[in-house]
Chains A and B, each alone.
Chain A
Amino acid sequence: MEERVSGIVSLETLRRLGYLPTEDRLRKGPVAIFECIEPIPCNVCVLSCPFEAVKMEKITDLPKVDFDRCTGCTLCVAQCPGQAIFVVDASQDGEEALLSLQYDMGEPPDPGDRVVLLDREGNSVGEGKVVKVYKHKRSEAFVVTIAIPQKLLMVARAFRKVGRGES
């Protein structure tokens, strides 16, 4: 597996594992993208989903996502120890989409802040604007929702805050 050398999950693998929703589903509203491709002993996502959208028989199975049940509520995003879940929302018309991810790198940005979007390798790929931030109680992690360019829906997977004076 190429990922074992690079540490970067490929879209091909995600497709093969059934982790990519159809174009139609993406248009309908927020949905979770799981990038958890290696069976590890973990079922936090199953237990954290209030809509029973994630299933697993054994704790060492890969999570199975039912995109019809998933509402994109981000509760699994907040608790995933692997930071491997992202919620994307491509339901709006126009150029913008929303990306929600877990943030654990310091004080989160505030709504309205601009951030630098990073891909799976840490390269800057564009800019986004924070629209929502909340802190989850059990995991004590933040979930940040960012408005991003549609074309980065499957590309942007992290962000860097923009320092003062930086543009």
Chain B
Amino acid sequence: MFKQRRISKHPVLRFKRGKEVTIFFEGKPLKAFEGESLAAALYAAGVDVFRWTPKLGRPRGPFCMVGKCGSCMVEVDGEVVRACITPVKEGMKVRRIKGLPPINAREAPDAALNPSPLEVDVLIVGGGPAGMAASEILAKEGMSVLLVDDQPRLGGQLIKQTHIFFGSQELFAGKRGFRIAEEYEKKLMSLSNLQVMLRTTALGVFEEGILITNPEKGARLVRPKYVVISTGAFENYLLFENNDLPGVMGAGGAQTLMNLYGVLPGKEVVVIGSGNVGLIITYQLLQAGAGVKAIIEAAPKIGGWLVHAAKIRRFGVPIITKHTIIAAEGRDRVEAAVIAEVNEKWEPIPGTEKRIECDTILLAVGLTPNSELLRQFGVTTKYVPELGGLVPVRNRYMETNVDGVFVAGDVSGVEEATTAFIEGWIVAYSILLKENPGNKEWLQERERLVMMVEEYRSSPVSSKVRSGLRYVEVG
């Protein structure tokens, strides 16, 4: 099993580790760094099993790393938390949960409702590329904007991207993803009309307003005039034997661990899925010093862009098409992946099984739009597989059927950062034009952006998105 998990040298990233702190894991002192999540600290220290399931006693380790699953639940000072969204603190006592977790008797601080609602012009939920883009223009034009994000940092998936971006220079091409996020964040911080609340979740939509909660500041109602939903997407799971074994992780989860906290997810990795996410995570693993045994793709062809595939092929990583994973093997952590060839109906062909020794299996099998909040608003959604799942019906200006509710980014159909930025800007002008419908400059700028996003999607690599949009884009 691989031991040295902290990345000491990275070609692109410099990890700013905070002050060293000591936490206690089942009585044993462990070294951690301020600013990192408990999950990252435990993982770095070599902890694979974070808990055992109550009924079957199956081991569980972290999967998504961003608070979207329950895989990494541990007990901290008597309270059950998700380790991936809990910052480490000097002296914290961590215990793994065996059986049923204790019930938290203490009233959580985020249950205390602040009685005075927050009145703003625009509430933006989700601070990835789309949310940041919309915030910038709206706040610049004088609207009061509240941007909430459930993560500790702005930037969404961008902050984990080490590769140089495609596209045109207006859209930051030629720069690396995490730099784009850094620079944009800086730009936003200088806007006085913009209020940013991190680690804050928009929980529900009520007649009285939208309920947001923050672990320190508690709960509060927001009453905005307009709402932008830019909540992004979450990672898909895949069905196979032992898919809950520690060491099976989402590609995005692995990126968080590796590129945000500087902790290597594995030493010998098998990546499932050859879309851009699978190809890019493979390259990032090589950059961080891990080995990638293979990329497994069920389709007969590589899913992602050829330039990304060529990059990793040059370093000898095979892409095995027409194969799927049928099982993970191992006791407390992945020790091998069993793959098999599939027929035209995507069924594994008996007798074609192969065993690949590895310590980590990363799932890069697509994303699903995070459309829950949209549906609470009563926005009409449609199931469009080409766009990743349930997506909102909207017009080309990203306006939904619910008055004042707009969408932008992956939540409106899974694409990429570039199109998310453009959609964010389009939404901003759509809102501004509601306030002042006659403004020629804004009308022109919005038209230009709509054309720009359409040009982006005119490439053959976007044909799926184009056909998906036909079902949900009206007017």
B386 → A minimal CB distance (Å): 17
A79 touches B302 (CB 8 A): no
Determine whether the beta carbon of B310 is less than 8 Å from that of A122.
no
Q: A26: CB under 8 A from chain B? A: no
- Please tell me if A120 contacts chain B, counting CB pairs below 8 Å: yes
Q: Is the CB of A38 within 8 A of B461?
A: yes
Determine the distance from Cα of A58 to Cα of B312 in the docked complex, in whole angstroms.
28
Residue B195, interface by CB 8 Å: no
**Per-residue interface assignment for chain B, residues 283 to 320, with 1 indicating a CB less than 8 Å from any chain A CB and 0 otherwise:** 00011010000000000111001111111111111010
Contact residues, A77-93 vs B (CB, 8 A): 79-84
- Whether the pair A118, B314 counts as a contact (CB closer than 8 A) is yes
Instruction: Assess whether B458 is interfacial by the CB under 8 Å rule.
Output: yes
Partner of B174, one of A3, A36, A44: A44
For A140, the closest partner residue in chain B by CB is B176
CB-CB < 8 A to A118: which residues of B? 314-316
In contact, B315 and A122 (Cβ under 8 angstroms): yes
Q: Mark contacts of A123-167 with chain B using CB atoms, 8 A cut-off: 1 yes-contact digit, 0 otherwise.
A: 100000000000000111100000000000000011000000000
**Across-interface contacts of B319 in A (CB, < 8 A):** 6-7
Q: Given A121-B316, A139-B175, verify A42-B167 contact (CB < 8 Å).
A: yes
- Whether a CB of chain B sits under 8 angstroms from the CB of A11 is no
B173, CB-defined interface residue at 8 Å: yes
CA distance A44 to B313 in the complex (A): 22
Q: Which residue of A lies closest to B308 (CB)?
A: A82
Q: B151 near A: Cβ within 8 Å?
A: no
- A55–B146 Cα distance when bound, in Å, is 43
Interface size for B (C-beta < 8 A) is: 46
Q: Is B163 an interface residue (CB 8 A)?
A: yes
A38-B11 CB under 8 A given contacts A59-B167, A81-B166: no
In the assembled complex, which residues on chain B have CB atoms less than 8 Å from the CB atom of A81? 163-166, 173-174, 307
Q: Is A110 an interface residue (CB 8 A)?
A: no
> Knowing A5-B302, A81-B165, A120-B310 touch, does A138 contact B287 (C-beta < 8 A)?
no
Q: Which residues of B contact A3 (CB under 8 A)?
A: 306
Q: How far is the CA of A120 from the CA of B312 in the complex (A)?
A: 9
Q: Which residues of B contact A82 (CB under 8 A)?
A: 166, 305, 307-308, 310-311
A39 CB contacts on chain B under 8 angstroms: 459-461
- Bound CA span A41–B314, Å: 23
Rounded to whole Å, the gap between the CB of B442 and the closest CB of chain A is 24
- Whether the pair A35, B12 counts as a contact (CB closer than 8 A) is no
Q: Given known contacts A8-B313, A59-B167, is B459 in contact with A41 (CB within 8 Å)?
A: yes
Asked if B360 CB lies within 8 Å of chain A CBs, one says no
- CB of B352 within 8 A of chain A? no
User: Are A7 and B310 in contact (CB-based, < 8 A)?
Assistant: yes
Complex Cα spacing A83 to B174, Å: 11
Chain B residue numbers with a CB within 8 Å of A7 are 302, 306, 309-310, 312-313, 319
A40 touches B313 (CB 8 A): no
Q: Which residues of B lie under 8 Å from residue A48 when comparing CB positions? A: 174
The answer, yes or no, to whether A43 is at the interface (CB within 8 Å) is: yes
- Nearest chain-B residue to A83 (Cβ)? B311
- Asked whether A106 and B287 contact (CB < 8 A) given A8-B313, A79-B174, A121-B316, the answer is yes
Residues in A51-67 with C-beta less than 8 Å from chain B: 58-60
CB < 8 Å A-B pair total = 137
State whether the Cβ of A37 lies closer than 8 Å to any Cβ in chain B: yes
Q: Verify if A15 is at the interface (C-beta below 8 Å from B).
A: no
Interface SS of chain B: loop
Question: Could you tell me which residues of chain A, from 94 to 135, have a CB within 8 Å of some CB in chain B?
Answer: 104-107, 118-123
Contacts of B317 on A, CB cut-off 8 Å?
A: 122
- How distant is A57 from chain B, measured CB to nearest CB, in Å? 11
Tell me, yes or no, whether A4 is within 8 Å of chain B by CB.
Answer: yes
Q: How far is the CA of A48 from the CA of B166 in the complex (A)?
A: 12
A40 contact set on B, CB distance < 8 A = 166, 305, 307, 459, 461
A5 near B166 with CB under 8 A, answer no
Q: A40-B305, A140-B176 are in contact. Are A158 and B456 (CB under 8 A)?
A: no
Evaluate contact between A158 and B314: CB separation under 8 angstroms.
yes
Among B163-191, those with CB < 8 Å from A are 163-169, 173-176, 179
Q: How far is the CA of A79 from the CA of B174 in the complex (A)?
A: 5
B381 at interface by CB-CB < 8 Å: no
A9 at the B interface (CB under 8 A): yes
Of chain B, the residue at the smallest CB distance from A158 is: B314
A47 touches B179 (CB 8 A): no
> B455 at the A/B interface (Cβ < 8 Å)?
yes
> How close is B200's CB to chain A, nearest CB, in angstroms?
32
Q: How far, in whole Å, are A48 and B418 apart by their CA atoms in the complex?
A: 19
Q: In the complex, are the beta carbons of B302 and A44 less than 8 A apart?
A: no
Q: Kindly report which residue of chain A lies nearest to residue B175, judged by CB atoms.
A: A138
A118 to B164, CA, bound (A): 22
| Chain B residues within an 8 Å CB radius of A157 | 314
Given contacts A41-B418, A42-B166, A59-B455, contact A104 B12 (CB under 8 A): yes
**Complex Cα distance A41/B305, Å?**
11
Residue of A nearest to B316 (CB): A122
**Closest approach, in angstroms, between the C-beta of A104 and any C-beta of chain B?**
6
Structural contact, A36 and B307, CB atoms closer than 8 A? yes
B423 to chain A, nearest CB (A): 14
A60 and B310: CB pair below 8 A?
Answer: no
26 contacts between A and B (CB under 8 A): A3-B306, A7-B309, A7-B310, A8-B310, A38-B306, A39-B459, A39-B460, A39-B461, A40-B307, A41-B456, A42-B167, A43-B167, A44-B164, A58-B455, A59-B168, A59-B456, A81-B164, A82-B307, A83-B311, A104-B12, A105-B287, A106-B11, A107-B11, A118-B316, A122-B313, A123-B316
Going nearest first, the 4 A-B pairs with the smallest beta carbon separation are A122-B316, A82-B307, A7-B309, A60-B459
